[in-house]
Every structure is written in C-alpha cells, then in structure tokens.
Amino acid sequence: MNAISTPSQTAQTSASAEVDRGLIDYLPLVDHLQQSNNLPAVQDDAQYAQMKTRLDVFGNRLTDVGGPVIAIQGIVRAIRDDVKGLRDDIEGLQDGVTGLQDGVTGLQGGVTNNMRVVRENIGRQVDSLCKMISNVDSRSNKSRQDEAEVKVKVNIKLKTSNKTGLEFQGAVKADALERNRVDCHIDWSSKQDG
C-alpha cells in the first residue's frame, strides 16, 4: 500500500512545485505589464515573444495540475490576450501614422502640381506678350538706321497666388533687337506667402 501511495504523493508534490516555479516566474511578469513603462517591451518583437512563451509555459503547467488552479490559468490567458491586444493597438497606431505620412506626401504632390500649372499659365501669357512686342516693333516706321539702335526692354513682374498659399513671381525680360525678333525669358522666384 505504501509503495502504491508514494508515487501519487510524489506527483502531487512535483505538480505543486511546478506551480510554485510558475508563480515565481509569472508574478514579476504581471508587475511588469502593469507598469507604465511596459510599452517598449511590448513593442519589441524579441521581448514580446519571450513574454508570450513564459505565459504559455505557465499556462501549460496549470493545465497539468488542474483542479483549483484553472481560474489562475484563465487569468494568465486574459493577460496574454491583453498583451496581444496592446500590441495590435500599437501596430494600428503605426498604420495610422503611415497613413498620415502618405496624406502629407499627397498634399505635397498637389502643391508641386499647382506650381507647375501656375508657371505654365504665366508662360503662355509671356509668349503672347512677346508676340505683341514683336508685332509692334515690326510695324514701326523708323528708318533702318534708327531700327539698328532701337532696343525695347520690358521688365514685367507677374504675381499670382494659388490656394496653397505659395506665391510665385516671374520677371519677363524681352529685347527687341531686330525687326520681327524678340528674345524673351522668365526668371522665376518663389516665396512662402504671408
């Protein structure tokens, strides 16, 4: 009888020791999770994996023992789920930041596109202006000697503002050096409006 009861008592003692070892490992982990500085540990992949493994091991020990410790096992699972939920929240927050960055990038692209449209519009106006100067010069009734000395210089500042608050200025310089020929170019500068 004694030979039969001894292994059972040994098994109970061994199981109790397993629970004790699990609690020794588990309780500091609970304290760590409840502290306000546990966020970096949850964010870190290696620390998160180690934390999850420790919770799983302790949960398995509780399963082997059974009986009144099942409630503790449920708490372990709940904390493990909380850790995972916190990690999921962090990943969601990171995704939100990424989405915000993408939105800013898109906004910058829109500003760049607006700049291009504004410059193209002014460029077309400059072309028309140069043609007008050329036509006026070609209709002049000055003698050839006078024409050789005529230089029509035009310096026009065109200013426009788009909805993004960026202001662009283009200086148009045109030289009517000869009849029917006008040299034009635009010097661009931009500044933040306001």
Q: Is 185 helix (H, G, I), strand (E, B) or coil?
A: strand
Q: Please report the sign of the dihedral spanned by the C-alpha atoms of residue 66, residue 69, residue 74, residue 76.
A: negative
Tokens 């026009």, located at residue: 156
Residue type for 30, please?
A: V
Q: Is 167 helix (H, G, I), strand (E, B) or coil?
A: strand
Distance of alpha carbon 90 from alpha carbon 42, whole angstroms: 9
Residue 18 near residue 64 (C-beta atoms within 8 A)? yes
Residue extents of the structural domains in the chain? 101-192
Q: What is the pLDDT of residues 38-91, one digit of tens each?
A: 555 555 666 666 766 776 776 666 665 555 555 666 666 677 676 666 667 666
Distance of alpha carbon 86 from alpha carbon 127, whole angstroms: 62
Q: What is the pLDDT of residues 85-120, one digit of tens each?
A: 666 766 666 666 666 666 666 666 665 666 666 666
CA atoms within 13 A on the CB side of 18: 17
Cα separations in angstroms, 30 against 82, 108, 134: 11, 46, 85
Q: Which pair of structure tokens corresponds to residue 35? A: 């502290």
Helices (H), the chain: 2-34, 39-43, 45-65, 70-138, 144-149
Tokens 């010069």, located at residue: 137
Task: State the pTM of this model.
Answer: 0.25
Q: What is the pLDDT of residues 146-191, one digit of tens each?
A: 443 334 444 444 444 544 444 444 444 444 444 444 445 455 554 4
